[in-house]
Amino acid sequence: MNKIISNVLNELEIQSNLEKNRMVDINPEDRMLAITKETGELLNMILRLKNAKNMLEIGMSVGYSTIWCAEAILENSGKITTIERNRNKIERARKNFQKANVGKAIDIKEGNAMEILKNIRNKKENFDLVLIDADKENTKKYFDLILPMVPVGGVIITDNMLYPEKYREDMKKFSDYIKKNDSLRTITSPIGFGEEITIKIR
Ligand SMILES: C[S@@+](CC[C@H](N)C(=O)[O-])C[C@H]1O[C@@H](n2cnc3c(N)ncnc32)[C@H](O)[C@@H]1O
């Protein structure tokens, strides 16, 4: 990986740990809540395996996951559409993208994910990979909205299937819901905070 991008990712990992361990004074709603490094590696590998050109992210925060994905998708001159409602985080993300020199691959949509997804749906866009990582209560609604935007062979990754534990029961119900759909294959992987990896097979 190029040094500039890996330096920015390292800095963000340090910042994320400081926030997690309450070693910096930051409003709870401004905390990064980033995916783990291993999840970043997983997303990056799937994007490469698929030669992905078009990705959607629900829940950008300050852009840690987005940079992991941009590093792969830029090789295909691809694009990431990413959604975030917190203005402070969007400002931080913009600076991080600039520092990592990945901004050209990223289209930030500011606002409420549900409304933005409905707008995107009307434009009939398709996404090779979708990352769902926003407000956990709405995970199933986001999944239902994006499923028609994913072509056969497309992948949906959902974070926080196993951790924090308070979400685990609802996330298990979500996984069971996906399993009932014949057009999908899904697995709950113990990578990171637990990643649901779902593929549309028909
Ligand atoms: C877990 S964090 C995302 C972390 C990011 N994917 C990463 O790994 O770096 C979830 C983010 O979703 C945003 N969010 C939560 N609910 C949202 C909503 N309804 N619409 C838009 N953004 C939302 C939060 O502000 C927060 O920054």
Grouping H, G, I as helix, E, B as strand and the rest as coil, residue 109 is strand
Whether a cis peptide bond, with omega within 30° of 0, leads into 148 is no
> Which of 31, 65, 50 has the alpha carbon at shortest distance from 133?
65
Range of the domain at 187: 3-200
- For residue 154, the CA-to-ligand 1 centroid distance in Å is 22
Q: How confident is the model at residue 102 (pLDDT cuts 50, 70, 90)?
A: very high
Could you tell me what percent of the chain has a pLDDT over 90?
Answer: 92
Residue 20's pLDDT band, with cuts at 50, 70 and 90, is confident
Q: What is the rounded average pLDDT of the residues 3-9?
A: 97
For ligand 1, atom 11, name the residue with the nearest CA: 59
Residue with CA closest to ligand 1 atom 8:
34
- Report residue 180's pLDDT band, with 50, 70 and 90 as the boundaries: very high
* CATH number, domain with residue 51: 3.40.50.150
Enter the DSSP assignment of 104: G
Percentage of residues in the chain with pLDDT exceeding 70? 100
Residue 23 has pLDDT above 90, yes or no: no
Q: What is the pLDDT of residue 28?
A: 87
In the reported structure, the alpha carbon of residue 202 is separated from the centroid of ligand 1 by a whole-number distance in angstroms of 30
65: its two tokens? 């996951």
pLDDT of 179 = 98
Strands 129-132 and 155-158 come out as parallel
List, for residues 56-73, the tens digit of each pLDDT value.
999 999 999 999 999 999
Number of domains in the chain: 1
| Distance of CA 123 from the midpoint of ligand 1 (Å) | 23
Closest-CA residue, ligand 1 atom 26, reads 61
Of 16-20, 56-60, 147-151, 160-164, the one with minimum mean pLDDT is: 16-20
Q: How far is the CA of 135 from the centre of ligand 1 (A)?
A: 6
